[in-house]
Structure 1
Amino acid sequence: MNERIYKTPCGNIHYWINMEQGFEHITLIFLPGLTADHRLFDKQIEYFEGKCNVLVWDAPGHAKSWPFKFDFSLMDKAKWLDDILCLENIHSPVIIGQSMGGYVGQAYSELFPDKLKGFVSIDSAPLQRNYVTKIELWLLKRMEPVYRYYPWKSLLKTGTKGVATSSYGRKLMHEIMMTYDGSQKRYARIAGHGFKILAEAMEAGLPYKIKCPAQLICGEKDHAGSCIRYNKAWHKNTGIPIAWIKNAGHNSNTDAPEEVNTLIEKFAKTL
């Protein structure tokens, strides 16, 4: 994997890429969830590197993509992603987004519907306004103080055990969270801003239709928010195929990497 840097008006985005399979082939674009970084997809990169073109980033403000000004929207993230794809001459992107990464993928699909070759949602949820309640939107826009004043040790514990069920998944998330050890204010800013721009994107009331082939993946023990409820409704309303991962939590790609990798591989072969 080759590390690259893309400069934006708000800061630099770090990403890692391998295009050895050639530009005519699809490229798997891995987008980690809120507060997580590129390491969230280590098991996927390890499996697919050498089989497919792959790209993964540290989202704006996260890990190495810092310092960064928090005055951007979800659509800005999607536009910057497209800038990176254009810069790298990637013409057949398949976005694989975990949680917040899935929302970025839907924003990308809204802005560039004809560019996206495929979309895989991992423990994410639909971006349409009708899936969320008013109180959920109200809470999303007011989460920064919660993360800022919550005792760090307790936050570290809930932030690792609450998103993963496996020892590997929990250990990895603990390591990722320790990036912000001693800088809880930054962690809270990342989380708070992320939830805020998510709520604003939902309130925009855009269609956010997925026009390309898609696959939903969700852990059966995903207790992050109302993720299970959202995915059931998403599947029912759109007919997008859904795979439920047994004994997996919100980071199902770290709890059951072999199963998730197989699902992604089978999906990619259909494109």
Structure 2
Amino acid sequence: MTEKIFKTESGSIHYWINTKAENSKLQLVFLPGLTADHRLFDKQIEFFKNRYPVFVWDAPAHAASWPFKMNFSLKQKAQWLDEILKQNKFDNPVIIGQSMGGYVGQMYAELFPQKLKGFVSVDSAPLQRKYMTAIEIWLLKRMEGVYLHYPWKSLLKQGSNGVSTTEYGRKLMLDFMMTYDGDQKRYASLAGHGYKILAEAIEENLPYEIKCPAMLICGTKDHAGSCIRYNKAWHKKTGIPLHWIKDAGHNSNTDKPEEINQLILSFLETLV
């Protein structure tokens, strides 16, 4: 994997990419969730990097992609992503987005429906307004203060234990959070801004229709928000196949990487 930098007016985005692979007809774009970084997909990158061209980033304002002005929208994130993919000739992208990464993927599908060749949601949820209550959107806009005043040690414990059911997954999330150790204000700002732009994207009430082949993945022990409820409704309303990952948490790709790698591989083979 080669680390590269994409400069924007708000800051520089760091990403890692490998363009040489057995099958170059599709390119895999891995998008980590809020406050996580590119390491979230280590097990997937390791598995796929010789099979398909692969990309993963530290999302704007995350980890190495800092300093970064918190003045961007979810739409801008998807537009920056498209510019990076064009620069690297990722012309047939398949987006695999975990949590917030799944929302970025849906925004990309809204803006560039003709480009996206496949979409995999990992413990994410639909962007369409009809799935979310008014109180949920109201709360999303007010999360920065919660994270700012929550005791840091408790936040570290709950943040890492709450998203994973395995030692590997919990340790990885703790490592992500320790990036912001000693600067809780930055962590709160990062999380708060992420939830805010998510709420604003939902309120735009765009179609957010997935027109390419898609697959939903969700851990049976995913207790982040109402992820399980959202995925059940998403599957029921759209017919998009939904795969439950037994005993996995919100970061199911770190809890059951082998199972998820095989699901993604099978999905890709249907596209090829």
Same fold (TM over 0.5): yes
Deviation at 1:25, TM superposition (A): 1.8
Q: Where does residue 94 of structure 1 map in the other structure?
A: 94
The equivalent of 2:83 in structure 1 is 83
Deviations for 1:202-230, whole angstroms, at most 9, x for unmatched residues?
Answer: 00000000000000000000000000000
Q: Deviations over 1:180-206 (max 9, x none)?
A: 000111000010000000000000000
- Which amino acid is the alignment partner of residue 6 of structure 2? Y
> 1:38 is matched with which residue?
38
Structure 1 CA distance, aligned partners of 2:115 and 2:23?
Answer: 14
Contact 2:23 2:51 in 1 (8 A): no
Q: Is the 8 A contact 2:118 2:212 kept in 1?
A: yes
Report if aligned partners of 1:23, 1:90 keep a CA contact under 8 Å in 2.
no
**CA distance in structure 1 between the aligned counterparts of 2:211 and 2:84, rounded to whole angstroms:** 22
- Please report how far the alpha carbon of residue 98 of structure 1 lies from its aligned counterpart in structure 2 after TM superposition: 0.1
**TM-score (norm. length: structure 1):** 0.99
Partner of 2:152: 152
1:233 Cα offset (Å): 0.1
The aligned counterpart of 2:7 is 7
2:190 corresponds to: 190
What letter corresponds to residue 81 of structure 1 in structure 2?
L
- Are the equivalent residues in 2 in contact too, given 1:216–1:242 (CA < 8 A)? yes
The equivalences for 1:221-236 within 5 A come to 221-236=221-236
Distance 1:22 1:79, change over 3 A: farther
Deviation at 1:49, TM superposition (A): 1.2
Is the contact between residue 36 and residue 176 of structure 2 (CA under 8 Å) also seen in structure 1? yes
SS at match of 1:270: helix
In structure 2, the CA distance between the partners of 1:59 and 1:119, relative to structure 1 (3 Å rule), is: same
Structure 1 contact 164–255 (Cα < 8 Å) conserved: yes
Q: CA deviation at 1:15?
A: 0.2
Aligned counterparts of 1:22 and 1:16: Cα–Cα separation in 2: 18
| Uncovered stretches (5+) of structure 2, i.e. residues with no partner | none
Shift of 1:21: 2.2
TM normalised by structure 2 equals: 0.99
Identity %: 71
Secondary structure, counterpart of 1:86 in structure 2: helix
Q: Decide whether the 8 Å contact of 2:21 with 2:49 is kept in 1.
A: no
Task: Give ranges in structure 1 of 5+ residues lacking alignment.
Answer: none
Moved more, 192-201 or 45-54: 45-54
Tell me how far apart the structure 2 counterparts of residues 23 and 253 of structure 1 sit (CA, whole Å): 23
Query: Partners of 1:90 and 1:23 in 2: how far apart?
Result: 13
Q: How does 1:1-271 map to 2 (within 5 A)?
A: 1-21=1-21, 24-271=24-271
Counterpart secondary structure, 2:146 = helix
Q: In 2, are the aligned partners of 1:34 and 1:100 still within 8 Å (CA)?
A: yes
Displacement over 4 Å in runs of 4+: none
On the 8 A contact 2:22/2:51 being kept in 1, the answer is no
Q: Partners of 2:17 and 2:117 in 1: how far apart?
A: 18
| In 1: Cα distance, 2:45 partner to 2:206 partner | 32
